[in-house]
Amino acid sequence: MDAVTKTNFKFPGQTSHYVGKVRDVYTIHDTTMLMVVSDRISAFDVVLPKGIPYKGQVLNQIAAKFLDATADIVPNWKTATPDPMVTAGILCEPFKVEMVIRGYLSGHAWREYKKGKRSICGVTMPEGMKENDRFPQPIITPTTKAQVGHDEDISKEEILAQGLVSKDDYEQLEAYTIALFQRGTEIARDKGLILVDTKYEFGKAAGKIFLIDEIHTPDSSRYFYLDGYQERQDAGHVQKQLSKEFVREWLMEKGYSGQEGQPMPEMPEEFVTRVSERYIELYEKITGEKFIKTPAQDVEKRILENCEQFLKTL
C-alpha cells in the first residue's frame, strides 16, 4: 500500500504551495485552496518517520462530513471534495490563534493539573478533580499557531493585549466555538461517544469569518466511549477512547515525548498497520458509516487527475 507522505504538484493557476504537519496546501489564483490531507502523522508537534495508509482519506472525509453538518452554525471554507484525500475551498486569512475547547480534564489540561496548576489560559479549573472528570461547563483554552515547534497556551486577555484578534472578532470566535462543540457533542452522543475536547481554526475572507481546516477528526479531537464512562471513572479505570492519543502513549512507552535530543523510536510495519486499522475504526464509529477504501496504488496520480478535473470547473 502507498502512504502519501509528500506531494509536489504543479496545478494550473497555482500561486503558492505550503506544507504543514499533515496537510499540503495549494493556492490557485490566490482565491481557491486545494488542501491535500496526506498520510503523514504527527505527535508532540513532530511528524513521525512513516506514513499511515488511509489516514488522509479518513481525516478528509470526516472533516468534510462535519463541515457540512455544522454549516448552519458558521460558514466554512469548503466548496468541494474533488478527491477522497482533498478538500477545495475559499482561501482565507487565518486567525493567529486556535480555539481549543475542553469538556473534560484530559490530555494537556490534565498534565498541567497534575503538576499542581489550577489555571490554564487564564481559566480557573476546580479543585478536587481527577483525570477525565467532566468540567462543570466546557472551557476555552486557546493556543498560538506555531508554524514550527509547539503551539503555546495563551489567555483571552493576552490575545487581545497583543492584538492577535480584535475584541469583536474574538467574542464571535468564542460563540462559534461553544456552538460547534455543542453540536459535536450531540452528534457524538448519538454515536455512543463523548466529545472530550477539540480545536477549531477560523479565518477571514472579504471581511467574513469562516471555519477553516478540519473539524471533529481524531487528529483534532478526543473521543471517549459513552457506554461505561461513569463506571470506569468511579472505579478509577482508564477511559476507552477514540483519538490518536494511543500513538502518543506508544511513543511515551518507547521513551519519546517530543523533547529535544530524544531519539525517535523505529515504527515497525506491524505498528503502522495497527494505526491504519485504528483510524478506519475511528471513521466508522464517529460517522456511523462503513469506510470504503480507495485503491492504495498510484494515489498521487489519482489525486493529480481528480484535482485537475475539478480546476477545469472554476
106 and 68 part of one domain: no
- The stretch 235-261 carries a mean pLDDT of 90
CATH number at residue 229: 3.30.470.20
Q: Which domain holds residue 56?
A: 14-92+268-311
User: For the segment 273-310, what is each residue's pLDDT rounded down to a tens digit?
Assistant: 999 999 999 999 999 999 999 987 889 999 999 999 99
In a domain, 254, yes or no: no
Q: Where are the alpha helices (DSSP H) in the chain?
A: 55-69, 107-114, 156-161, 167-190, 229-235, 245-253, 269-287, 299-311
Is 79 within the bounds of a domain?
A: yes
How many domains in the chain?
2
Angle 167-190/55-69 helices, nearest 10 degrees?
110
Predicted confidence (pLDDT) per residue in 158-192, tens digit: 999 999 999 999 999 999 999 999 999 999 999 99
CATH number of the domain residue 297 falls in: 3.30.200.20
Cell 471513521: give the residue.
283
48, amino acid identity: L
My answer on whether 189 and 220 are in the same domain is yes
